[in-house]
Chain A
Amino acid sequence: MSSYKYHVLICGGTGCTSSKSELIKDNLENLIKEKGLENDVQVVRTGCFGFCEQGPIVKFLPDNTFYVQVKPEDAEELVNEHIVKGRKVERLLYVEPTEKEKIDESKKMPFYKKQIRVALRNAGLINPDDIDEYIANDGYQALAKALSMTPEEVVEEMKESGLRGRGGGGFPTGLKWAFAQRAQGDIKYVVCNADEGDPGAFMDRSVLEGDPHSVIEGMAIAAYAIGARQGYVYIRAEYPLAVKRLQNAINQAKEYGLLGENIFGTDFSFDLEIRLGAGAFVCGEETALLASIEGYRGEPRTKPPFPANKGLWGKPTIINNVETFANVAPIILKGAKWFRSLGTEKSPGTKVFALAGKVNNVGLVEVPMGITLREVIFDIGGGIRGNKKFKAVQTGGPSGGCIPAEYLDTPIDFDTLTALGSMMGSGGMIVMDEETCMPDVAKFYLEFSVEESCGKCTPCRIGNVRLLETLDKITSGRATMDDLERMRILGETIKDSALCGLGQTSPNPILSTMHYFKDEYEAHVLDKSCPAGVCKNLITYKIDKEKCVGCTACARVCPVEAISGTIKNPHEIDQEKCIKCGACYATCRFGAIEKI
């Protein structure tokens, strides 16, 4: 037991930091000093707890009280009540959205119940800026253990674990290492892909911010396994906090001799450097990323040769994702068998998802593979916001697709998602409700791909623009059934002919929504209507004369004065003038305005 009576953990993730968690920490520390309690209470800034939507999060130990949405000015009450008087501050407890119950401990929250944290094992528990706390939680023991094994044994353990790359494709990590181990060359490299370009994704950032040493340790083990001496972490410059924590962790590891020459007194030496990326999505593609580190434009090249044989500066290179590396140390320490006890036969282990969209509990969740979409969305995610109906879940970002309600009970793993026409991708999971228009969603992702295309190959550079034009025709009611068919054929062609993964997967959002929501596309094309009521060109606002009480509220908010009528008499919308902003619809308290 430490001599502290209380530990106060404050989330230092990007989300909570942007809502002033640093100031909360300062306030708490000052008050604690003022009261002479600094020897009783330890205040620690940790990584992300995952429940970012409820942030800033402050957790009190040992009683595990989980305070949400804490403001800097709440510090005083927290110290006076919780620490001095031992009473929980009720108003800062989490309220469960369906039962409206207050829940005081994270363990009791549905959000945390089905989660198993492997990659995020230390996030929200340790101070990422203190290497001793990482060591106290078994840190660097896996590296020590790996160094007592032969490199072949390390690779064998990784192969047996069945770990698959968490960066999107799901390629077996052990196999990739075996290729690099076998490749000829006196110089080899290990590279960590921390580019994380998917819109809405922040898994890798959270791992780096909350537990940078887990990535360093994983990379060092990889380096030992293949015989590399040098590693690089390629991270986007838009992640300043992650960069800072990682740099600090590298410095501390060097000070301890856990990076550098003759690690653990063996003849294994390994050094690590950070390379900042400018944040182009395509730079996350491995060959583009390597080109970018070498100082060239971040453009993909054809494979083979694969980086394992010809990577950085033509030398054999392992490139893995942040989360992949974060899984390595527990596998080496606890063994492949333990790892296989989690997840499914073909996709062992856990996966971190960034759960977003129309669910009640938005946040970062780590779950065993094989859990169903329903469990993630309804049990952990707490169901759909505002009691609306679930329509689809988008996985895999711009490379993935939309999965409809009938597949909610599908166990999630790499292969099932691909079979459904989507992807695991890096772990974005966006939940959509009945008010989402599927052609409109497809358009959003395609716009992203068009913008991020590097332009090197024709199918992606030109094909995607044609796809986008067709989608635009559909959502504005100008398309024919022939357009739908042409779009499908073009999509298939781009998939088959693009040079890199960006182009090869960019039609997925279209193809999957066309497959599962054919009716909706047809409604746009044949009936010129948008069933979800999203596409501006296809909807009209009308006032129901029976229901309108003539309160004039709508007329007052209409920005173009399209609504006329006198007080206490039914109002009317001039369709010529209406710009379909929806302001009147949102304003009418009598449900008199219809969207059709």
Chain B
Amino acid sequence: MPKIKSLEDLLKQKESAKDKLSLRKVAENDNVITLRVAMGTCGIAAGAKETFDKLLETIEEKKLENIRVIQTGCMGYCHAEPTVEVVEPGKEPILYGKISGDKAKELIEKHILNGELLQDSIIGETHTSINE
């Protein structure tokens, strides 16, 4: 490791080490948006793992810091898997169905960044999962 010889060096080191803590700091934040991906057996069979990865990938790409992706058990909408629930502080949660691959990216770009709902993908009433 090269020596840290200036504040710039330190900040560079901080930047490269930031990833180690970002997940932990997000978790401490009260204002964080949570994306809950249903990962029951059926969810995984329908490609929820790819959805999960795509969400993370997009978040990283857009350098979003106040958002976390959590996997949950089956939310009971097997027909619409993969399902993703968007929980924003102080708002009603929105449940989306059939979010696979590129749809996941769109969800972040539209819903999270622009505040636009993906009308076609919303499924009925959301509920509070027993995991909460």
Is the CB–CB distance between A257 and B17 below 8 Å? no
Q: Which of A61, A107, A140, A255 has the most CB of B within 10 A?
A: A61
Q: Mark B21-52, 1 if CB is under 8 A from A, else 0.
A: 11111111010101001111000000000001
A 119-134 contacts with B by CB, 8 A:
125-126, 130, 132-133
Known contacts A62-B68, A257-B3; A3/B21 CB under 8 A: no
Residues of A close to B126: CB separation below 8 A: none
Is the CB–CB distance between B20 and A61 below 8 Å? no
Is the CB–CB distance between A256 and B3 below 8 Å? yes
Residues of B close to A33: CB separation below 8 A: none
Q: How many A-B residue pairs have CB under 8 A?
A: 110
**Cα A141 to Cα B6 with chains together (Å):** 10
Residues of A close to B11: CB separation below 8 A: 141
Which residue of chain B is the closest to A138 with respect to CB atoms?
Answer: B14
Known contacts A61-B23, A86-B72, A255-B1; A1/B64 CB under 8 A: yes
Residues of B close to A87: CB separation below 8 A: 72-73, 131
- Tell me whether chain A's interface is mostly helix, strand or loop, or mixed: loop
Known contacts A4-B23, A132-B17; A256/B1 CB under 8 A: yes
Which residue of chain A is the closest to B73 with respect to CB atoms?
Answer: A87
**Cα A140 to Cα B4 with chains together (Å):** 10
Is the CB–CB distance between A1 and B70 below 8 Å? no
Which residue of chain B is the closest to A105 with respect to CB atoms?
Answer: B27
Rounded to whole Å, the gap between the CB of B53 and the closest CB of chain A is 9
Is the CB–CB distance between B4 and A64 below 8 Å? no
Rounded to whole Å, the gap between the CB of A127 and the closest CB of chain B is 8
From A85, A138, A257, contact of B73 by CB (8 A): A85
Chain A interface size, under 10 / 10 to 19 / 20 to 34 / 35 or more: 35 or more
A 245-298 contacts with B by CB, 8 A:
255-258, 264-265
Residues of B close to A148: CB separation below 8 A: 7
Is the CB–CB distance between B23 and A264 below 8 Å? no
Whether a CB of chain B sits under 8 angstroms from the CB of A574 is: no
Chain B interface size, under 10 / 10 to 19 / 20 to 34 / 35 or more: 35 or more
Q: Which of B10, B22, B131 has the most CB of A within 10 A?
A: B10
Whether a CB of chain B sits under 8 angstroms from the CB of A510 is: no
Residues of A close to B72: CB separation below 8 A: 86-87
A 547-592 contacts with B by CB, 8 A:
none
Which residue of chain B is the closest to A255 with respect to CB atoms?
Answer: B1
Residues of A close to B60: CB separation below 8 A: 1, 3
A 160-199 contacts with B by CB, 8 A:
none
Whether a CB of chain B sits under 8 angstroms from the CB of A388 is: no
Is the CB–CB distance between B39 and A86 below 8 Å? yes
Rounded to whole Å, the gap between the CB of B2 and the closest CB of chain A is 9
Is the CB–CB distance between A2 and B3 below 8 Å? no
Known: A61-B26, A126-B21. 16 other contacts (CB 8 A): A1-B22, A1-B23, A1-B64, A3-B56, A7-B24, A62-B32, A62-B70, A63-B34, A63-B70, A85-B39, A107-B30, A135-B14, A138-B14, A141-B7, A141-B11, A264-B6
Using a CB–CB cutoff of 8 Å, the interface residues on chain A facing chain B are 1-5, 7, 9, 42, 61-64, 85-88, 107, 125-126, 130, 132-133, 135-138, 140-141, 144, 148, 255-258, 264-265
